[in-house]
Amino acid sequence: MNSSEIDVSKNQSDSEVVLRLRGITKVFGSLVANDDISLELKSGEVLALLGENGAGKTTLMNILFGHYVADSGSVEVFGKNIPEGSPHAAIEAGIGMVHQHFTLADNLSVLDNVMLGTESLWSLSSNRRSGRRHLEELGKRFGLEVQPHVRISELSIGERQRVEILKALYRKARILILDEPTAVLTPQETKDFFETLKKLVKGGLSLIFISHKMQEVLAISDRVAVLRDGSLVTEIKTAAASETELAHAMVGREIELPERKALEAGRSIFKLEDVTVSAGEGRPGLKEVSLNICAKEIVGIAGVSGNGQTALADLISGLAVPQSGIVELHGEIVRRFTPENMLRNKVGRIPEDRHTQGVIGDMSLAENSISECYREAQFSTFGWQNHRNRDRFAENVVSRFDVRGYNSKAPVRLLSGGNMQKLILGRVLSGNPQLILANQPGRGLDVGAVAYVHQQLLSARAEGAAILLISEDLEELLQIADRIAVIHRGQLSETFPRESISIAQLGLLMTGQQNFSTTNYPSAGNNAS
Amino acid sequence: MRLEARTNIPLGFMLLAPVLAVLASFMLCAGLVAWSGVPVLEAYGLLLQGALGSGFALAETLARTTPLIFTGLAAAVAFKSRFWNIGAEGQLYAGALIITVLGTGMLDLPQELMIPVLVICSAVAGALLLLGPVLLKLHFGVDEVVTTLLLNFIVILLVSLLLEGPLKDPMGLGWPQAEPVTEAAELPRLFRGLRLHSGLLLALLLAFIIWIVSIRTTLGYEMRAVGFNQKAARFAGMPVNRVMIMTALISGGIAGIAGYSEVAGMKGNLTLDLSPGFGYTGIVVAMLAQLHPLGVVISATFVASVFVGADAMSRSAGVPSYIADVMVSVSLLCMLVSVLLVRFRIRWS
């Protein structure tokens, strides 16, 4: 700590306030995203900002960082008001932000990314040598070593996050905002990341840690502020907080956790035998993957994103054609890989990206509700659409699946993420699918909506559907899957019954540290050695 | 300065936008008119008079509107599905060419049969011309903007070649023009002594049909879905390639009919100046209409009025008729700006 160049005296007086938000209010249309929020951040403190999706965490931080202008309220950093709506002023004042989605240029080196924007555009030369020295110094001090000349595209997600933090440090940030930093990390990476955070605090930084994961908040923070529906509902010392208390403050209502009944798996519905799917642009395919999913069971696929999940999902969606291997549906070999054929074979697909694949944002809810079955006789006679049946079908989906904010004419992109997912779920389940692909069905949804989605998947399972659940959220998998397999670099491990595997073991498999071939299941993963 | 998305845009505001855009463009062009030494209000008065001031003027304007409705629809249909057909000009000439081959004596049918047959033939010619670009796009990823644009020149040069050669009218005093179409092939005039012909009715009917197809039929549903979000349409199992091909055939077909309408309704025979860029102006018409089939009728009328009115203005006041091109272009720019302003609010900070 003595080596720290940052004002040491600030560290010693624990109570000094470095950042003060006063009465921040921001309204979008009819939605109050932030309602009169006042917060303080003390020097050398980790403040956790806890809240569901849509509670206003990101809006608040965007106001702080100058991306948005608040309707009222002020931001004070180190005792000085900073002008509104200027990220530049926020950086000058010593605020650094690590966004949930990284803002790095993939085709540039680490050093380039870090230095980008720190030098005048008018200067003819770039002082790379001193920049590099400074970067290495920072890396050493905070345990964030990276190789300055390596391109971003060659780095892992964890390393990219390190670069993002270094970028902020290089700009002399003394307050660091981390927006859902662990969302992209494996459990092991998260552990390392927390070590890094401790070093940053020792080095004199104050942190705001945004999350919706309770355990992480309890593990790393000194103080927790809970946001719900745009208002600050609780602010307490972490030491005095309990998980149930925080959960209640965050959600504000009782969430019924889906009930999971033990069921005997039925006959095999979907089978992959040594299936290889060639890699797409910049993403891995599948390498000799074998998998068997039976009726009345949920098989979970765990893995760090970008390890072949997309190829697997595309295969089942009918968007990718396998290079080799056998795909069987209901005991018959699949030969035509088109979305149409998959739908005809009673495959329901919940896509990973609701906006680009799930719905047609500019069309109405009713039009979207029939997008997979519009050719059926009830919706189309001789090419003429039956709007009455369509609207009746849509209303049925809306009421059965509790889609809120329904307006039959308005474009569906105006729906919230949770309601959009309910619409997709309704569309898929209305087709009575026998195989359901659920690719990240809970991503970006609040706790209530996630519980609802899980409930629906479980009841589909009870009715005899086979479900493949792809998720990066290990807790989600352990909650509702019957068996779990891990995907790593396009290879799939054997499946483990949920009772026999822990988060730590899954984490090791996800990073490829545990060899797949230790399995006693000879057909799967035999070339992982 | 930055843009903020507006939420809950009132319908009236959206309809007002084009009107304001047109007014703004007239105001912007006032400077140019004044520069040519004519009082602005007088010039605009002449323009209005020349476009809509008399039965004759109105008929001229509507005669000019007709091809623009066709080409505007051709662009609107294609653009709505995100297929960028810039080749309506070539498709128009392709339609005109087939009519010249068939309608100048080769086909001999009574008028009630002749007209529908020729309409279909011209549509097929335009559609076939666009089939190549759409197949190249779907199978090889060739950019349709390039192929359709370049095809325009190929077709026009082909027409030029044929007009100097096999299709040249022996009675044409050496001009590069084809023989006139037979009487049975002609689109009847709507009023004696006026150039306004029944092609206008055909254009209006077509606009109505396209609108109905777009909102009521399965094909229209697929076309809109593919245009809005091709990935989601493919994911939902829609035959994206087939929809694209259908879109191209419809778009090319409509542009082809424009060729028939011009040859058989307006000019009587095929010449190289059959279209003063109707194909390209159609794109402007479609954009002004925000790709709505019925909006195309209105915007085509507006664009035609400006052109016809500006001609009259230049004859009687000496303002160069090029002002029409400027005005139409400026109104398109104003339209784009006003659409932007309807969707976003400017925040100065």
State yes or no: pLDDT of B338 exceeds 90: no
Rounded CA separation B45/B56 (Å): 17
Q: What is the pLDDT of residue A517?
A: 47
**Cβ neighbours around A473 below 10 Å, total:** 16
Rounded CA separation B199/B92 (Å): 14
Confidence of residue A10 (pLDDT cuts 50, 70, 90): very low
Q: Which structure tokens are listed for B287? A: 């954009």
Selection from A86-90, B97-101, B327-331 with the highest mean pLDDT: B97-101
State yes or no: pLDDT of B14 exceeds 90: no
Name the residue type at position B235: F
The correct CATH number of A17-105+173-251 out of 3.40.50.720, 3.40.190.10, 3.40.50.300, 3.40.50.360 is 3.40.50.300
The residue of chain A with its CA nearest to that of B232 is A357
Higher pLDDT, A135 or A143: A135
**Within this chain, domains A17-105+173-251 and A268-363+427-518 share the same CATH topology:** yes
State yes or no: pLDDT of A8 exceeds 50: no
Residue B106 neighbours by CB under 8 Å, 6+ apart: none
Confidence of residue A521 (pLDDT cuts 50, 70, 90): very low
Chain B contact probe: residue of A345, A349, A371 with most B CBs at under 10 A = A371
Q: What is the pLDDT of residue A280?
A: 66
Q: Which structure tokens are listed for A265? A: 């798996």
Query: CB of A384 within 8 Å of any CB in chain B?
Result: yes
Nearest to A366 by CA among A382, A352, A347, A379: A379
Confidence of residue A4 (pLDDT cuts 50, 70, 90): very low
State yes or no: pLDDT of B227 exceeds 90: yes
Q: What is the pLDDT of residue A337?
A: 94
- Under 8 Å CB pairs connecting chains A and B tally to 69
Q: What pLDDT, in 10s, does the model give residues A43-64? A: 989 999 988 777 888 888 888 8
Q: Which structure tokens are listed for A511? A: 């990073």
State yes or no: pLDDT of A520 exceeds 70: no
Query: CB of A309 within 8 Å of any CB in chain B?
Result: no
Higher pLDDT, B17 or A431: A431
Our CA-based measurement puts residue A356 at a distance from the nearest CA of chain B, in whole angstroms, of 6
Q: What is the pLDDT of residue A519?
A: 44
State yes or no: pLDDT of A287 exceeds 50: yes
Q: What is the pLDDT of residue A50?
A: 87
State yes or no: pLDDT of A283 exceeds 70: no
State yes or no: pLDDT of B346 exceeds 90: no
| CB-side neighbour CA atoms (13 Å) of B315 | 11
- Across A273-286, b (16+ Cβ under 10 Å) vs e yields bbbbbeeeeeebbb
State yes or no: pLDDT of A226 exceeds 60: yes
Percent of chain A with pLDDT strictly greater than 70: 92
Average pLDDT rounded to a whole number, residues B220-243 = 95
Residue A40 neighbours by CB under 8 Å, 6+ apart: A17, A19, A20, A21
Quick check: A384 and B225 CB within 8 A?
A: no
Rounded CA separation B326/B307 (Å): 10
State yes or no: pLDDT of A460 exceeds 80: yes
Higher pLDDT, B66 or A4: B66
β pairing state of A17-28 and A72-77: antiparallel
Rounded CA separation B117/B128 (Å): 16
Q: What pLDDT, in 10s, does the model give residues B260-303? A: 999 999 999 999 999 999 999 999 999 888 899 999 999 999 99
The residue of chain A with its CA nearest to that of B217 is A384
Dihedrals phi, psi of A433, to nearest 5 degrees: -70, 150
The residue of chain B with its CA nearest to that of A360 is B229
Q: What is the pLDDT of residue B1?
A: 66
Residue A429's alpha-carbon distances to A457, A519, B70, in angstroms, are 9, 35, 44
Rounded CA separation B231/B216 (Å): 23
Quick check: A357 and B235 CB within 8 A?
A: yes
**8 Å CB contact between B203 and B211:** no
Confidence of residue B349 (pLDDT cuts 50, 70, 90): low
Average pLDDT rounded to a whole number, residues B16-35 = 86
Q: What is the pLDDT of residue B12?
A: 77
List strand residue ranges (DSSP E) for A13-144, in order: 17-28, 31-42, 46-50, 72-77, 80-81, 95-98
State yes or no: pLDDT of B51 exceeds 50: yes
Q: Which residue has the tokens 């474009």?
A: A411
- DSSP character string of B143-180: -HHHHHHHHHHHHHHHHHHHHHTTTB-TTSTT-SBBPP
Higher pLDDT, A66 or B253: B253
Among candidates A30, A69, A340 on the partner chain, residue whose Cβ is nearest the Cβ of B349:
A69
Sign of the Cα torsion A150, A152, A156, A157 reads positive
Q: Spell out the alpha helix ranges (H) of chain B.
A: 11-35, 40-52, 55-80, 88-103, 111-140, 144-164, 199-216, 218-228, 230-235, 240-261, 278-288, 293-317, 323-343
Confidence of residue A5 (pLDDT cuts 50, 70, 90): very low
Nearest to B57 by CA among B339, B296, B268, B310: B310
Selection from A226-235, A269-278, B31-40 with the highest mean pLDDT: A269-278
Quick check: B234 and A69 CB within 8 A?
A: no
**Cβ neighbours around A414 below 10 Å, total:** 15
This model of the complex carries an ipTM of 0.84
Average pLDDT rounded to a whole number, residues A79-95 = 86
Quick check: B237 and A343 CB within 8 A?
A: yes
> Chain B residues with CB inside 8 Å of A385's CB?
216-218, 221
Q: What is the pLDDT of residue A327?
A: 95
β pairing state of A206-211 and A46-50: parallel
> Chain B residues with CB inside 8 Å of A360's CB?
225, 228-229, 232-233
Dihedrals phi, psi of B235, to nearest 5 degrees: -60, -35
For all residues of chain B together, what is the average pLDDT? 91
For all residues of chain A together, what is the average pLDDT? 85
Domain boundaries, chain A: 17-105+173-251, 268-363+427-518
Percent of chain A with pLDDT strictly greater than 90: 40
**8 Å CB contact between A80 and A214:** no
**Cβ neighbours around A5 below 10 Å, total:** 10
Average pLDDT rounded to a whole number, residues B185-214 = 94
Name the residue type at position A387: H
Q: What is the pLDDT of residue A514?
A: 61
Q: Please, what is the angle between helix B240-261 and helix B111-140, to 10°? A: 140
Q: What is the pLDDT of residue B288?
A: 86
Q: What pLDDT, in 10s, does the model give residues A368-403? A: 999 999 999 999 999 999 999 999 999 999 888 888
Sign of the Cα torsion B122, B123, B126, B127 reads negative
State yes or no: pLDDT of A13 exceeds 70: no
State yes or no: pLDDT of B120 exceeds 80: yes
Q: Which residue has the tokens 């392709």?
A: B94
Nearest to A45 by CA among A202, A206, A174, A220: A206
> H/E element holding B57?
helix B55-80
Rounded CA separation A123/B2 (Å): 27
Q: Which structure tokens are listed for A137? A: 């110094």
Confidence of residue B21 (pLDDT cuts 50, 70, 90): confident
Rounded CA separation B50/B32 (Å): 19
The residue of chain B with its CA nearest to that of A370 is B236
Percent of chain B with pLDDT strictly greater than 90: 62
Query: CB of A358 within 8 Å of any CB in chain B?
Result: yes
Confidence of residue A464 (pLDDT cuts 50, 70, 90): very high
Query: CB of B242 within 8 Å of any CB in chain A?
Result: no
Q: Which residue has the tokens 């409509």?
A: B254
Q: What is the DSSP letter of A358?
A: I
Nearest to A361 by CA among B229, B227, B214, B230: B229
- DSSP character string of A391-448: HHHHHHHHHHTT--S--SSSBGGGS-HHHHHHHHHHHHHHT--SEEEEESTTTT--HH
State yes or no: pLDDT of B119 exceeds 60: yes
Nearest to B240 by CA among B213, B258, B222: B222
For A96-105, A170-179, B7-16, which range has the lowest pLDDT when averaged over its residues? B7-16
Q: What is the pLDDT of residue A262?
A: 81
Q: What is the pLDDT of residue B15?
A: 76
Q: What is the pLDDT of residue B301?
A: 95
Residue B47 neighbours by CB under 8 Å, 6+ apart: B306, B309, B310, B312, B313
Nearest to A376 by CA among A349, A344, A341: A344
Q: How many whole angstroms from its chain centre is CA A353? A: 11
Q: What angle do CA A491, A496, A502 make, to 5 degrees?
A: 105
CATH architecture of the domain A268-363+427-518 equals 3-Layer(aba) Sandwich (3.40)
